[in-house]
Structure 1
Amino acid sequence: MSNINIISNESVPSSKKKIIVLGSGPNRIGQGIEFDYCCVHGLLAIKECGYEAIMINCNPETVSTDFDVADKLYFEPVFWEHLWDIIELEKPEGVIVQLGGQTALKLAKKLHERGIRIIGTSFDNMDIAEDRGRFSGLLKELNIPYPEYGTAFTADEAIEVANQVGYPVLVRPSYVLGGQRMRIVINDEELESAVVNLLKHIPDNNILIDHFLDRCQEAEIDAIFDGDDFMVMGVMEHIEPAGIHSGDSNAVLPAFNLSPMEVTTMELYAEKIARALNIKGLINIQFAIKDGNVFVIEANPRASRTTPFIAKAYGVPFLNIATKIMLEEAKLKDFKIDKKLTGYAIKEPVFSFEKFPNVNKELGPEMKSTGEAIRFIKDLRDPYFRTLYKERSMRLSK
């Protein structure tokens, strides 16, 4: 008697119009619970718009994988093979990749190649922001200042570029999570070692060599664009100086030490970038400010880890608003947005070094925090803030 393998499928598709939301998978350094917040609010907005909300995620410790959040949950790894099987079965109106962090965003290319609708910003426009070389080219077209840069595929090419832009330089690959393999180097020997190590772990990656703006202030903006109107959700100023990953920095909302001209310039550049990329939904842009000049470092065409922080600090459902804009069910003008914040909110990184005793605890461009918390202060005389700012001054004086 021959053995017959019978494959069963307990998932029965409904006749409703469906939207799939991709989660961020397991919590890891660089990406964690903050994107679960984004996914949950996105799922609720999808249901409010009359669609069947389908969640794909594989983290049992998150709210997005509770059975009563989405209409249907696929507890599966956020890998292409699993996603494609689900898409073939469910036949959704489209897939949202903006809410699940870098893991979800990386699947946009395969969705685009298979002709699956990506809800919100198009794949090509997201790719411009993700590809460090293409994005720098866009900034040049828009006449927006950015650190001098060059691209390379080998160590020899990288050394040539670094000598053109000038040391110190920031070495970074494209399409990575949490500043993975980013390094600040000061000479040819360090650069060669960094590039060889990078290509060993991420082969065939396009390497970007940026001139590193030492001893400058970093800040970032989270915003929503609906194709017509642009809204800044929040302007955050980092307490730590340049060179420390944004995920490891204490960020103050609103900015506490930037001039009105610097903040206005950041907002102007952010809007120009959002319009050029035709963003539909969320975008995060990071800046370096030195000697009164504002430089754009990078843009993330998705929800960032600071999006929930801003939403909680101001008491505004920004993720609900952004999701309805992605779905083309609403415009910014349809919402009455009232930001409520007395004093300042500080995003505090959370580290787990006690669980990894042999890990280098020195902070740099590669993210090491495992989460974040929020602290509210009435004013800048708060002892906690003053301690943080004193530590920053000590770092800058070294």
Structure 2
Amino acid sequence: MFKKILIANRGEIACRVIKTARRMGIATVAVASDADRKALHVQMADEVVHIGPAPAAQSYLVIDRIVQAIRDTGAEAVHPGYGFLSENPRFAAALAAEGVAFIGPPQGAIEAMGDKITSKKLAAEAGVSTVPGYMGLIGDAEEAVRIANQIGYPVMIKASAGGGGKGMRIAWNDAEAREGFQSSKNEAASSFGDDRIFIEKFVTQPRHIEIQVLADAHGNTIHLGERECSIQRRNQKVIEEAPSPFLDADTRAAMGAQACALAQAVGYTSAGTVEFIVDGERNFYFLEMNTRLQVEHPVTELITGIDLVEQMIRVAAGETLSIRQEDVRLNGWAMESRIYAEDPYRNFLPSTGRLTRYRPPAEVCSDTAVVRNDTGVTEGGEISMFYDPMIAKLCTWAPDRTRAIEEMRVALDAFELEGIGHNLPFLSAVMDHDRFVSGAITTAFIAEEFPEGFDGVTLDARLLRRVVAASVAMHRVAEVRRARISGRMDNHERRVGDAWVVLAQGERFAVTVAADRSGASVTFDDGATLRVASDWTPGDRLARLTVDDTPLVMKVGKISGGFRLRLRGAELKVRVLSPRHAELQALMPEKIPADMSKYLLCPMPGLVVALHVEEGAEVFEGQALATVEAMKMENILRAERRGTVGTIRASVGSSLAVDEIIMEFD
């Protein structure tokens, strides 16, 4: 077994590999750019090597710098994580030349499967069902349009060397094919240094389901079941689960057999993933093979009990798989929510900045529930514009899907994250969505259920009442504490009022509170009473309560006369007022926000890479105005209505902050 390995990656996956290596008694070496000198993976590793400036193209993607780090530390093997150099055959070749083990597949398998065009041809030869498409190289946008028409719209335009949703566009007509081809080509060149593009048929009503395979160098190949990855946004996975709520045993077996056959056909070893698209009739088609560890691998680990990183290390060390196909048992259900630094209220645009508060829920491991948080950040850390915006992967496990979802709901509500925009509210909204709960999902779920974007959640009447009862009970605790500290009331418990008016979500609730040593009973004006119990104290930012013996977890912020509460995807300003204050508050005028409709604002920190109009130009609804790049993704900003361009305040190459003006209209 290896004595020392180097992790050629950063962030969450580097931390994940270090944890397993430490358990196996293997020393670890971290590499770090200028931006990552104080990162969590740097703190966790036994040794650290600085490899260059913040941009990945000058550090994490420079093979020579990684090789030099290996020489300097004497590492015997390298784990590449995912992204960066993980599927780069030149990196595998460089390691082989150094006599260093690559904790991944052979170079030939990477070359065969890492290229999406070649992999589809090989899959077809191996008898694997594939999606109709054009696998040849495409020279320009007009050729892309001709091919798209031959295949038939809709089509998927994809980067040959792509992954992680980058360099992918769906086109429904000629105009979208032209635009999508160029954007995919640009993103592919920026992210992978390879701008080759191919086109395939876009399957309607699709599910994205993938099979985890594991193979050694002694001819043994097994699969570990499937993962459902259909909850996607811009072709980027957001929520994954294992197993799939859609597959039956026969389809699972057939997909697993094809995945193993493909792995054997290319001489694959290590952990890998064969991705399929599955239609509503359970017909499945090969998409691609990822020759690396997947981001969503924890859900497979949770339902099988198999540490995939450990298996990768053992295979790379020449060991034979100790697990046979008949040994694999799928136990219970697991969920993974990818927590991203992005603003769901601004169409999920990337967010950067400092994590002023980062308190994940406590990790749990029992026979009835698991909560696991794979992360690479700490409180006070910086979310940089140079790397992927993923903050953490929050995972839950339970004996069945219903309970796994409920564990995830509670864990999301308990996740404290401040300082940047993040997608916690959106993840909570999905967990409560009837269609998700039923399992009736496709890759179009987000586009279909949130067509106008995400603007928060409105709590249903029952949950809102529970929040109101909790809020007034908490407010009473705060009032009693205030009276005790000030000393202005001798009998503060008795002098704090019992009658209150609660304003929440545009509604008014008249309630009375009867408190005792074990909690408070909150009675509404219709006679209904809810019992609230909690050990919350003023100043706590997380409230764990029970309302009528049902758990309720809320993130709490203080505002004048009440609280800002966040739970289940909703953000509420809840005010608890005396009856007289409520009367006066009703007379206050509402503040009207300023009209910013005449400006095109930069929706995220980013770089202006193109301006598509000039001053004085007439524009129409939907017309492209500017392209802003952030975190390697191109974002095309379009006109919301017809108008005339007045002054353009930004230029190509400008680095803009959130809400900085790009142009204004007459």
TM-score normalised over the length of structure 1: 0.77
Query: What residue in structure 2 maps to residue 172 of structure 1?
Result: 158
Query: What residue in structure 2 maps to residue 9 of structure 1?
Result: none
Query: What residue in structure 1 maps to residue 394 of structure 2?
Result: 373
SS of 2:267's equivalent in the other structure is coil
Distance 1:336 1:144 in 2: 20
> Given the alignment of the two structures, is residue 154 of structure 1 paired with residue 140 of structure 2, yes or no?
yes
Query: What residue in structure 1 maps to residue 16 of structure 2?
Result: 37
Structure with more of its chain in helix, by fraction = 1
Distance 1:356 1:297 in 2: 32
Judged with a 3 Å threshold, the aligned counterparts in structure 2 of structure 1 residues 189 and 23 are, in CA distance, closer, same or farther, namely same
What is the CA distance between 1:194 and its match in structure 2? Answer: 1.1
Judged with a 3 Å threshold, the aligned counterparts in structure 2 of structure 1 residues 258 and 334 are, in CA distance, closer, same or farther, namely closer
Query: What residue in structure 2 maps to residue 232 of structure 1?
Result: 223
CA deviations 1:223-275 (Å, max 9, x no partner) are: 210032123234222453x8863622x32212322121210111011101211
Q: Which stretch has the larger CA shift, 352-361 or 339-348?
A: 352-361
What is the CA distance between 1:93 and its match in structure 2? Answer: 4.6
Query: What residue in structure 2 maps to residue 286 of structure 1?
Result: 275
- Paired residues of 1:239 and 1:392 also in contact (CA < 8 A): no
2:143 is matched by which residue type in structure 1? E
- 1:63-102 equivalent positions in 2, closer than 5 A: 64-66=41-43, 69-70=45-46, 72-76=47-51, 77-78=59-60, 79-90=62-73, 93-97=76-80, 100-102=81-83
Q: What are the ranges of 5 or more consecutive residues in structure 1 without an aligned counterpart?
A: 1-15, 28-32, 362-366
Structure with more of its chain in strand, by fraction = 2
2:111 is matched by which residue type in structure 1? D
Distance 1:129 1:280 in 2: 12
- Paired residues of 2:156 and 2:200 also in contact (CA < 8 A): yes
The number of equivalent residue pairs is 361
Same amino acid, percent of matched pairs: 16
Distance 1:336 1:215 in 2: 31
Q: What are the ranges of 5 or more consecutive residues in structure 2 without an aligned counterpart?
A: 52-58, 351-387, 407-430, 450-666
- Paired residues of 1:343 and 1:377 also in contact (CA < 8 A): yes
Judged with a 3 Å threshold, the aligned counterparts in structure 2 of structure 1 residues 281 and 43 are, in CA distance, closer, same or farther, namely farther
Query: What residue in structure 1 maps to residue 118 of structure 2?
Result: 134
- Paired residues of 1:316 and 1:339 also in contact (CA < 8 A): no
- Paired residues of 2:225 and 2:243 also in contact (CA < 8 A): yes
Judged with a 3 Å threshold, the aligned counterparts in structure 2 of structure 1 residues 309 and 63 are, in CA distance, closer, same or farther, namely farther
1:221 is matched by which residue type in structure 2? I
> Given the alignment of the two structures, is residue 189 of structure 1 paired with residue 179 of structure 2, yes or no?
no
Distance 1:370 1:129 in 2: 28
SS of 1:182's equivalent in the other structure is strand
CA deviations 1:271-291 (Å, max 9, x no partner) are: 012112222211011111122
Judged with a 3 Å threshold, the aligned counterparts in structure 2 of structure 1 residues 289 and 336 are, in CA distance, closer, same or farther, namely closer
Q: 1:209 aligns with which of 172, 179, 199?
A: 199
- Paired residues of 2:216 and 2:320 also in contact (CA < 8 A): yes
> Given the alignment of the two structures, is residue 23 of structure 1 paired with residue 8 of structure 2, yes or no?
yes
- Paired residues of 1:22 and 1:104 also in contact (CA < 8 A): no
Distance 2:227 2:127 in 1: 23
Judged with a 3 Å threshold, the aligned counterparts in structure 2 of structure 1 residues 101 and 143 are, in CA distance, closer, same or farther, namely same
2:270 is matched by which residue type in structure 1? G
Judged with a 3 Å threshold, the aligned counterparts in structure 2 of structure 1 residues 341 and 199 are, in CA distance, closer, same or farther, namely closer
TM-score normalised over the length of structure 2: 0.48
Query: What residue in structure 2 maps to residue 297 of structure 1?
Result: 287
Judged with a 3 Å threshold, the aligned counterparts in structure 2 of structure 1 residues 287 and 319 are, in CA distance, closer, same or farther, namely same
1:112 is matched by which residue type in structure 2? A
Judged with a 3 Å threshold, the aligned counterparts in structure 2 of structure 1 residues 159 and 175 are, in CA distance, closer, same or farther, namely same
SS of 1:104's equivalent in the other structure is coil
Distance 1:300 1:168 in 2: 24
After the TM superposition, list the runs of 4 or more consecutive aligned residues in structure 1 that deviate by more than 6 angstroms: 334-341
Judged with a 3 Å threshold, the aligned counterparts in structure 2 of structure 1 residues 199 and 321 are, in CA distance, closer, same or farther, namely closer
- 1:244-393 equivalent positions in 2, closer than 5 A: 245=235, 247-248=237-238, 250-290=239-279, 291-328=281-318, 330-333=319-322, 343-354=332-343, 357=346, 359=348, 370-382=391-403, 384=406, 387=434, 388-389=436-437, 392=440
Which entry has the higher C-alpha Rg, 1 or 2? 2
2:222 is matched by which residue type in structure 1? M
SS of 2:110's equivalent in the other structure is helix
